[in-house]
Every structure is written in C-alpha cells, then in structure tokens.
A and B are shown apart, each in its own frame.
Chain A
C-alpha cells in the first residue's frame, strides 16, 4: 500500500500529523493523527471553586482564551440561575470582538493566505508583499489592545468572572481605542475585497452547518444552536443532538451528530446561517464583493473570516461609542447546588461547556467540547472528498494540497486534546 505521510503539520496550533493510505489508486484510509498529549483540563477543574474556572479554562488556548472564559462563566451563571446586566453583556461582546480580530487577522494573513498565494510561509509573503503583512500585524495588534484594555493583558486576560467582570475598564482607555478601530474597519473592508480575489482550489462539500443563532444579532455569546438541517436546540439540549467519540488515532475526541453524521462549525457555518444578522457595513461588504451564500468550499472560510473581521470592527466601534459603565461590574452570586451549560462562538466555532457544582460552589463535573474536536471528523471527510484529485497530483503537491485544506480550518489541536476517562478492566 502506498501512503502520503505528513508527520507534523505546520502553521496550526498544537501537534498533529496527517496520513493517507492508498490502495489500487484510491484512498482507503485517511487519518488526522492528533498526538498532542491530552491535558485533562476537565479532570483538574473538579473540586475547584467556580470563580477559579474562567481563569483556568482561559489557559486552554493562547489564541482564544476569551472564548473559554465566556463559555465557562455563562455555563456557571446558568448553574446558579444568574442573569447578567445589559452592560456586562455588551462588554463581553466587545471583548469577544477583540478576540475575533486578533485570531482572524492571524489566520487570514499569516496562516492561510501564504498557501493560497503559493508562498511557503508568512515570512515569504512579507518579503514579496510587505504592505499586506504590515496591515495584518496592525489589524491583529488592535484586537490584542482591546483584550489588554478590558482584560489586563492581551493573552489570558484576567478580568472575567462568573457574573461579569471584576471591575469596569476605564472609560477613557476604552474610548482611546476608537481611532485605531476606525482605521481597522476600513482595512477589514479592504480585506474582504482582497479575499475574494484569491485563487481558491475547487472543492464543494454538502455540509451540515452548525452555529449559535440569535434573532437580533450576529450570535457570539448566546442564542440557540441551529443546524442547516433544520434542527434547532437550546444550549441546554446540546448533548442530545451532538456527541463525542473516542477514535484510536487521536488524542482529541471526535464530534458527531447524535445520528452519527459529521458537521461543520466555525466561520463558514456562522456566516451561512447568520448573515442576515450582520451589521450594515459587514452586510455591504458581503454584497459588494458578490459573495454568494451558502459558501460550501472549506478553503473559502478565509472569506467568511474576512467578513467577520468587518463585523467585529464595526461592532467594537458601536459598543465603544455606547460604553458608559454603571452599576456593579458583576452580578451578586449566591452559591447553591446546580448544573448549567453555556455555549459561545469561539473564532473557530461553537464552544460548549457544562458544569455541575455542589452547595459550596465546587465543581463536581465538567465537560468542554471545543470547536476543533467537532470539526475533526469533517476534516477527514473533506480529505476523502479531495482524494480523487489529490491522487492525480505528484506526491509533493498532493501533500501540500492536503495540508492546505487542514490549515483552512485553522484547527486548534491544543484545545481539542481532551480525553475520555480511562477504564481499566482486569480479567
């Protein structure tokens, strides 16, 4: 049997490889091998006080710590029956804008664009198109500055708590972000125009798209879980519709629908399901770039990220213009026994948390389902769909094309490697 083997994928977060087994000219086995060691976060959240959880879960990822903080805080608030104030909700959305900006700018320009432009890396892109990369770095830095201003630091912010924030960020410091955001909004609009000109490989997949949906806004921190297959569940019902399985070749669990099919979360799913809720300038960008939805080409998730970049800049400006902190920065917490689920839209897709706490506020059970774990079976299915074309290519080109597909997903392997409980049976 012939094989194509990529022992270590480059320009993805975490450690994984890719294996193609080929027999009689067709792919018989495709594996995204995730060998990054499991990190057992769910295990060591147990017997920790609930207020520690947002800071611990933030450490799961250096790119999307806010997503982990928000999903955990919201799940624990649901366990306690707490409702946060509109001001807290708005500040959470603003913080999330910062995370979308820094994460999407990194992926669009530094991770995926080099593939589409035939460059080996962003360094090569910087050598040939320095202005693009300079703008990318500035776009990203503005996102990091939002996080630093609200969260005290740009990576693993420390201001988020169950019930809201430890304190309101300074109003002047928040307002001072506006000039950069105005520049960033225009740069993001230009990014959409540029994104549609890139040469995307031909590949269309009939996905089941899954994302949070909110009738009044582009869903990020709350809403129902909507599927393009006409299935809508509340966040509390998530585990009735979506399950995780262990597979032999992966330290990350694999997500499936309850009926066993693959599905897609992330920017493509969000844009396809929620484009009607985009803000006016993001909608205009979509229209003027003649982007026809639904986008079904996984490589074109770059376009979806670019539109979301406009959305995040536009929303950040609106939220900052209205920012007028008043009242307490967090809700009062009355500890009681309970269980709650929370889901938010991390830059890479739906991030679900569920916790059970005892009457002292100690976590007794934790479940975290990251977006990459949900997408892994879909990535493998996409690779199978791509295989007939790949096998016509010289091996080096085939390998690169397969790697490009995986990178288009912006998988966060580090986030995804949690593990099933080990059961030892003695016979």
Chain B
C-alpha cells in the first residue's frame, strides 16, 4: 500500500500565503472518503521550515500545496516537479530562510527522502500583506486547487 502525504503549507496571517492551508481544509471536507483512507495522511503545516522533513518521514509520495510567487496572474495553479521549485519562491518569510525548496534539497542530500516522489501544487499569490485574508482572485481558485489535489491523489493511489 502506497503511503501518501497531502500537506498544505503557508501562514494564515499573511494574505494569500494561507492558500495552501485553506486548500487542504476545503479538500478534506469535499473529498472525505479519500482524505480518511488509511494510506493517506493530511497535514496543515504552518511555518513548515525544516519540520517539513518530519512530515515526509515514512511516506512513499507527497503532494505539497503551497502559495508561490511567479510571473502569472493571482490564482494561477501550477503543477511543479521538485526540481522546478528552486526558481519559484513562496516568499513566506519562513523561519530563518528555510523555504520548501531548500528543505527538500536538504532532505535529498541527507538521503531522508529516498524513494519519496514529491509533486507540488502551487497557487500564484496576489498579496501577502500581514493580517489580511486570502484575496478574492486566489479564493476563487481554491476549488480548482482541491480538484487538482484529488486528481493527483487518484493517480498516486491507483499506482
């Protein structure tokens, strides 16, 4: 049985940076039969930093859902491979600079992610102002992001 982690990453207090957390929350409610399967572990990681590595322990695959800062309009959804994310920055002001890209690189270097396939579902941020909620543009695409999570999981669980 393939063990899959579905992990939302972000900060609730920084505008669109909460999109990954919100997507996980909505996906759990929309697809409870998948979210509650024993081989699926879901987690909302606020200020993930290096703690992301602990969340990936004993997993065969993982879907990371995070806000990204890229060139497209707010709400654009990306499906990224691990090697593609160094060119993106979630700009989360994460603790002491440990973003998702650096943390995954560290895990690979140390052999802690051997055999773990990782895909990143990103959503383009509009604003990340402290104390503000998710923008209308991004909120309007959260449902699409949930569907993307589910589609990704269906493929992984069928393998």
Contact = CB atoms under 8 A, between A and B. Distances in A.
Contacts of A62: 47, 49, 94-95
Contacts of B97: 10-11
A130 B96 contact: no
B15 to A, nearest CB: 13
B79 interface: no
A350 B47 CA distance: 24
Interface stretch (A120-128, A249-257, A374-382, A385-393): A120-128
Interface residues of A, number: 31
Nearest to A141: B54
A396 B109 CA distance: 28
A37 B130 CA distance: 10
B110 A134 contact: yes
A133 B106 contact: yes
Contact of A126 (B13, B46, B96, B106): B106
B93 A414 contact: yes
B95 A137 contact: no
A106 B50 CA distance: 9
Interface string B70-112: 0000000000000000000000011111100010011001111
Contacts of B98: 110
Interface string A1-45: 000000000111111000000000000000000000101000000
Interface string B99-129: 0001001100111100000000000000000
B41 to A, nearest CB: 15
A127 B108 CA distance: 10
Given A14-B93, A106-B96, A111-B96, A155 B106 contact: no
Nearest to A153: B46
B148 interface: no
A353 B77 CA distance: 43
Contacts of A59: 13
A156 interface: yes
Contacts of B156: none
B53 interface: yes
Interface in A265-312: none
Given A39-B130, A144-B54, A126 B95 contact: no
A137 B50 contact: yes
B154 interface: no
Contacts of B111: 130
Given A10-B97, A62-B47, A63-B95, A122 B106 contact: yes
B26 interface: no
A404 interface: no
Contacts of B50: 106, 110, 137, 140
Interface string B117-145: 00000000000001000000000000000
Contact of B110 (A15, A111, A130): A130
B53 A126 contact: no
Interface string A80-123: 00000000000000000000000000100011000000000111
25 contacts: A10-B97, A11-B96, A11-B97, A12-B96, A13-B95, A13-B96, A37-B130, A39-B130, A62-B94, A62-B95, A63-B96, A106-B50, A110-B96, A111-B96, A123-B105, A130-B110, A130-B111, A133-B106, A133-B110, A134-B110, A137-B50, A141-B51, A154-B51, A156-B46, A156-B47
Q: Which 4 A-B pairs have the closest CB atoms?
A: A62-B47, A126-B109, A155-B47, A62-B95
Interface of A: 10-15, 37, 39, 59, 62-63, 106, 110-111, 121-123, 126-127, 130, 133-134, 137, 140-141, 144, 153-156, 414
Given A11-B96, A110-B98, A155-B46, 8 more contacts: A59-B13, A62-B94, A62-B95, A106-B96, A137-B50, A137-B110, A137-B112, A153-B46
